[in-house]
Amino acid sequence: MMNAVAGPIPPFETFYELHAPEVLRFLRGKVGRDRADDAFQETFLRALKAYGRLRHGEHLRAWVLTIATRVAVDTHRRTRETPGELPETEHVDATPAYADLGELTDGLPAKERAAVVLRYGYDLDYRQIAAALGSSPDAARQAASSGVRRLRAERRRQP
Amino acid sequence: MTVPTDLDRRFRESAARSGLLDAGFDVVETPLGELLVAATERGLLRISFDPEPEAELEHLMRIAGPRVLRAPGAVDAVRRELDEYFDHRRQRFDLTLDLRGTTAFTQAVLDELARVPYGQTATYAELAARSGRPKAARAVGMVMNRNPVPIVLPCHRIVGSSGDLVGYGGGLERKEALLRLEGVTF
């Protein structure tokens, strides 16, 4: 099996069973117990949707925590918006809220993206990020900074 | 910490309804023991006498794709028809089948197999002849042995030319039990 080295993709059931408890714990921390159940559902449905496009089974933990992070961001955004408020486009010029980091980092490799979102979106320190990504603090720092470098390069390429 | 049962069930239900699964499976209780049953949007994909999901997951993934999840809702229709069959309330299955990946010969043999009526038997040689390959009794035996959906496609009704049961992927005692259930004497 050639792709055994690259880390084959496990059946979704295996992936879900392995990461569900941690994702739920993570979401409870981010959005609170009351809203964590819905966020949990949303996270794994998004993961399910994207799962068929995965090319290898590496960093799945970081990958799903990144999705969970984005769902938490969306949950916060929804709660802040109440009917009658100005539409969101009104504050496009404001400093990107961590909500926007999700989209900005779409093109990054999973690990870098997770590191960037967790560092600059959630202000986690590198020790916490390392724990979330299953790597060392140094590796987390490296992933975040290479993610940022990549984003800058990306921005320069855009007209 | 584990995920609360309710939340887990809710996710699995939504997943089954979402149309995103390559295959949904569950373990179904029957008088023959637990069966692992898997279905896709197209129909029944697999029935296995080995109810150990670990062993089956990789196989399901190879035939259907990686989005394989235990989702009881995905196999409700199969569970219902199996219950009725074991309860003597059903002699024909109305399930659509998803037999992807089968060769033309296998498909022809399985089509003929589906026509062997409840409570009757046919021999491997007869089934070979009906499939248009009269000399292929041994190959028919192989097809029976690898039947992806036993019980529903009744390979238990196929016996040796002298009438002995010969073999069964799920074990001979299960073949006997199924034939006895259908009132076949042997």
What residue in A sits closest to B16 (Cα-Cα)? A45
Q: Is residue B107's pLDDT more than 80?
A: yes
Q: What is the sign of the dihedral through the CA atoms of A135, A140, A142 and A143? A: positive
CB contacts, 8 Å: A40 with chain B: 3, 7, 11
Closest partner CB to B18 (pick from A37, A45, A54) = A45
- ipTM of the complex, rounded to two decimals: 0.90
Mention every residue, 6+ apart, whose C-beta is less than 8 A from residue B135: B128
Q: What confidence category does residue B130 fall into, taking pLDDT thresholds of 50, 70 and 90?
A: very high
Nearest Cα neighbor of B68 from B26, B101, B104, B22 is B22
Q: In the prediction, which pLDDT does A89 show?
A: 41
Contact (Cβ atoms closer than 8 angstroms) between residue A102 and residue A147: no
Q: Do B18 and A52 touch (CB under 8 A)?
A: no
* pLDDT of B167: 85
pLDDT digits (tens, 9 = 90+) for A10-20: 999 999 999 99
pTM, whole model, 2 decimals?
A: 0.75
Q: Can you say whether the dihedral through the CA atoms of B93, B96, B101, B105 is positive or negative?
A: positive
The mean pLDDT value of chain B amounts to: 94
Tokens of B44: 């029944």
Q: State residue A44's pLDDT score.
A: 98
Chain A residues with CB inside 8 Å of B8's CB?
20
Q: Which of A68-72, A83-87, B166-170 has the lowest mean pLDDT?
A: A83-87
Is residue B24 within 8 Å of B73, Cβ to Cβ?
A: yes
Work out the widest C-alpha separation in chain B, in whole angstroms.
60
| Smallest Cα distance from B82 to chain A, Å | 24
CA of A56 to nearest chain B CA: how many angstroms apart?
11
Interface subset of A 25-64, CB within 8 angstroms of B = 25, 37, 40-41, 44-45, 48-49, 51-52, 54
Q: Inter-chain contact B66–A11, Cβ cutoff 8 Å?
A: yes
Write out the two tokens for B128.
């070979």
| Surface of B (48-77) touching A: CB under 8 A | 53, 57-58, 60-61, 65-70
**Identity of the highest mean pLDDT range in A104-118, B20-34, B166-180:** B20-34
> How far is it, in rounded angstroms, from Cα A118 to Cα B39?
38
Banded model confidence at residue A145, pLDDT cuts 50, 70, 90: confident
- pLDDT band of residue A159 (cuts 50, 70, 90) is low
A61 or A122, higher pLDDT: A61
